[in-house]
Amino acid sequence: MSSEAAAEPLDPTPAHAPYDEVLELADRYARAWLDSVRERPIPPRAGIDAVMDALGRELPEYGEPAADVITRLAEGAEPGLIAIGSPRFYGWVIGGTQPVALAADWLVSTWDQNSGLRTITPGAVAVEEIAATWLLDLLSLPAESEVGFTTGATTAQTVCMAAARDEVLRREGWDVERDGMAGGSRIRFIVGEERHGTVDLAGRYLGLGEPIAVASDDEGRIRVDALREELAAGTGPAIVVLQAGNIHSGAYDDFLGAIAVAHEAGAWVHIDGAFGLWAAASPRLRHLVAGMGGADSWSTDAHKTLSVPYDCGIAIVRDGRAMTGALSMHASYLQATEVGADPHEKVLELSRRARGIPTWAVLRSLGRTGIARLVEQLAASARIIGDGLAELPGVEVLNDVVFTQVCVALESDAATEALSERLWADGEVLAMTSRWHDRAVVRFSVSNWGTDAAQATRTVEVVARTLAAIRAGR
Ligand SMILES: *Cc1c(COP(=O)(O)O)cnc(C)c1O
């Protein structure tokens, strides 16, 4: 290419048009969505093919004005959107967005700070560091811990387990950061039978292989006696992953017992508390997490219980040096600071959006009491749903509803699946089928800040009506 061609100016329109028009348009579409999200049918009306047809599949030879692009996007994608923000959306553990978090997130995109380095983006890093300090306080975790804002709980636990892996091998005299994994001791990677599948994934990313699964009890809690036996059966470095909040039952492992046993064997203990860690923020519910502060690392999500927009997870590691040792990149063009770890040293990304800012906004807007009330409301709504469904003929609630999860089954797997399909078709309540203890279940995960007592009661009424209709052959 000749230098003249390279120097040719860009077409000044439409890419260089002012922001106002498109932002006003996006704002209008955003408000229309938010106005409809509480009452619209929850499932998407259109599938991927229909949305692709509406958007147009061909790469355009020439561009179109920015406003037309936004209109095309909003109108084309909308029929394919699922109303995750509905207060009657109980599918998986995913929740809505609080207004303050959404507004803060808009600013994060607008400011567009690449928040990997403390010295370069002090405004963004200050907000995230305040949020990190508050999180440790709210969750009663060791104040000296380092906190990384990740894309979710999967990457948060990957980050924590990277610190764990390097540290347990370092204690054996093996430097995995320099020498890699081959030749070092095999790490015993021990989990409960009912751990979340992403724990296995994190282990795979880190070269730990498949975990050793020890038995769990009826509610999905790791059996401490089985853990003790497994630890006694071998030697060498070990990582034990415990769980705060089983996705089917909401149950919590016995942290006091399990951590004592694991630490006695020299293991690093990580706790996956993607949604369950938040019980610690409530004086009424924190008995569920008794002893969890004794672990070495913890992972959770802000995009679940805290209702920030996707995406934000949180990685917390007591030994900050293990964390930054595993994750920092040493490069001549990045100047390390004396004052504290840079954000990029605590997550997998170098360049990163300041995704901790919406978390700060929710904490600031609710305060300690408001966060406790939010968590308590989710648990109370789950109890209303559990108690209400248990009254319906033929419905069995399979778990002890200690937190936000309710698992129900009907007289047969086919009947359970029929209920879930009918709920999906009607669209007023969305709960998903799963399998638990060899039975088909419909699982209600109460994860939305808008799910209050009235919504929970309405949910029970909808399920009662739906079941009656199915049974009457309507
Ligand atoms: C959701 C969840 C995860 C994974 O979190 P992502 O944010 O989806 O990556 C891990 N563990 C548990 C218990 C979860 O509920």
Domains in the chain, ordered, with CATH? 17-81 (no CATH), 102-362 (3.40.640.10), 375-471 (3.90.1150.10)
Q: Angle at CA 350, nearest 5°, toward 348 and 353? A: 95
Average pLDDT over residues 404-432: 96
If one compares 433 and 13, the residue with the highest pLDDT of the two is 433
Distance CA 404, CA 390 (A): 16
Distance CA 107, CA 355 (A): 11
Q: If you search the block for the tokens 């095999």, which residue do you land on?
A: 186
Using CA atoms, how far residue 136 sits from 4, 144, 303, in Å, is 57, 9, 17
For ligand 1, is residue 145 a contact (CB within 6 Å)?
Answer: no
Q: According to the model, what pLDDT value does residue 18 have?
A: 82
Closest CA to 198 of 95, 288, 93: 93
Q: According to the model, what pLDDT value does residue 329 have?
A: 81
- Residue 11 reports pLDDT greater than 60: no
Q: What is the pTM of this model?
A: 0.94
pLDDT band of 6, cuts 50, 70, 90: low
Query: Which amino acid is located at 60 in the chain?
Result: P
For ligand 1, is residue 313 a contact (CB within 6 Å)?
Answer: yes
For ligand 1, is residue 154 a contact (CB within 6 Å)?
Answer: yes
- Residue 417 reports pLDDT greater than 70: yes
Tokens linked to 33: 């969505």
pLDDT in tens, 106-164: 999 999 999 988 889 999 999 999 999 999 999 999 999 999 999 999 999 999 999 99
Residue 363: HSE in the Cβ half-sphere, 13 Å Cα cutoff: 22
If one compares 310 and 94, the residue with the highest pLDDT of the two is 310
Question: Which atom, in ligand 1's list, is nearest to the CA of 152?
Answer: 7
Q: Which of 272, 277, 288, 303 to mutate to test the pocket of ligand 1 (most atoms within 8 A of CB)?
A: 272
CA of residue 314 to ligand 1 center, whole Å: 11
- SS3 (DSSP) at 15: coil
pLDDT in tens, 343-363: 999 999 999 999 999 999 999
Closest CA to 446 of 56, 10, 87: 87
Distance CA 297, CA 242 (A): 10
- Residue 376 reports pLDDT greater than 90: yes
CA of residue 346 to ligand 1 center, whole Å: 19
pLDDT in tens, 244-284: 999 999 999 999 999 999 999 999 999 999 999 999 999 99
Name the residue at shortest CA distance from atom 15 of ligand 1: 274
Using CA atoms, how far residue 167 sits from 73, 273, 312, 318, in Å, is 47, 21, 26, 12
For ligand 1, is residue 252 a contact (CB within 6 Å)?
Answer: no
Hey, how many other C-beta atoms are within 10 angstroms of the C-beta on 51? 16
Q: According to the model, what pLDDT value does residue 340 have?
A: 75
pLDDT in tens, 181-197: 998 899 999 999 999 99
Percent of the chain scoring above 70 in pLDDT: 94
Using CA atoms, how far residue 329 sits from 235, 364, 470, in Å, is 32, 32, 59
The angle that helices 122-138 and 357-390 make with each other, rounded to 10 degrees, is 40
